[in-house]
Chain A
Amino acid sequence: DGGITQSPKYLFRKEGQNVTLSCEQNLNHDAMYWYRQDPGQGLRLIYYSQIVNDFQKGDIAEGYSVSREKKESFPLTVTSAQKNPTAFYLCASSGQGVQPQHFGDGTRLSIL
Chain B
Amino acid sequence: GQQVMQIPQYQHVQEGEDFTTYCNSSTTLSNIQWYKQRPGGHPVFLIQLVKSGEVKKQKRLTFQFGEAKKNSSLHITATQTTDVGTYFCAAWGYGGATNKLIFGTGTLLAVQP
| Complex Cα spacing A106 to B42, Å | 7
| Complex Cα spacing A101 to B33, Å | 10
**Which residues of the other chain, B, contact A112 by a CB distance below 8 angstroms?**
none
**Which residues of the other chain, B, contact A48 by a CB distance below 8 angstroms?**
99-100
Query: Is A81 an interface residue when CB atoms closer than 8 A count as contact?
Result: no
Known contacts A43-B88, A98-B30: A103-B44 contact under CB 8 Å = yes
**Which residues of the other chain, B, contact A43 by a CB distance below 8 angstroms?**
43, 88, 103
| Min CB gap B94→A, angstroms | 12
Interface size on A, residues (CB 8 A): 25
Contact indicator A101/B100 (Cβ below 8 Å): no
Give the residues from 70 to 111 in chain A that come closer than 8 angstroms, CB to CB, to chain B: 90, 92, 94, 98, 100-106
Query: Is B101 an interface residue when CB atoms closer than 8 A count as contact?
Result: yes
| Min CB gap A82→B, angstroms | 16
Known contacts A42-B106, A45-B1: A102-B92 contact under CB 8 Å = no
Query: Is B105 an interface residue when CB atoms closer than 8 A count as contact?
Result: yes
User: What is the total of A-B residue contacts with beta carbons within 8 Å?
Assistant: 52
Q: Chain A: which residue is nearest B1 at the CB level?
A: A59
**Which residues of the other chain, B, contact A33 by a CB distance below 8 angstroms?**
101
Q: Chain A: which residue is nearest B33 at the CB level?
A: A100
Known contacts A100-B48, A103-B43: A42-B104 contact under CB 8 Å = yes
| Complex Cα spacing A43 to B4, Å | 11
Query: Is B108 an interface residue when CB atoms closer than 8 A count as contact?
Result: yes
Query: Is B31 an interface residue when CB atoms closer than 8 A count as contact?
Result: yes
Query: Is B82 an interface residue when CB atoms closer than 8 A count as contact?
Result: no
Give the residues from 25 to 69 in chain A that come closer than 8 angstroms, CB to CB, to chain B: 31, 33, 40-45, 48, 50, 56, 58-60
> Could you write out 5 A-B pairs with CB less than 8 Å apart?
A33-B101, A59-B1, A94-B101, A101-B35, A103-B43
A→B interface (CB under 8 Å): 31, 33, 40-45, 48, 50, 56, 58-60, 90, 92, 94, 98, 100-106
Among all A-B residue pairs, the 6 with the closest Cβ atoms:
A59-B1, A100-B45, A103-B42, A43-B103, A98-B92, A42-B106
B→A interface (CB under 8 Å): 1-3, 30-31, 33, 35, 41-45, 48, 50, 88, 90, 92-93, 99-101, 103-106, 108
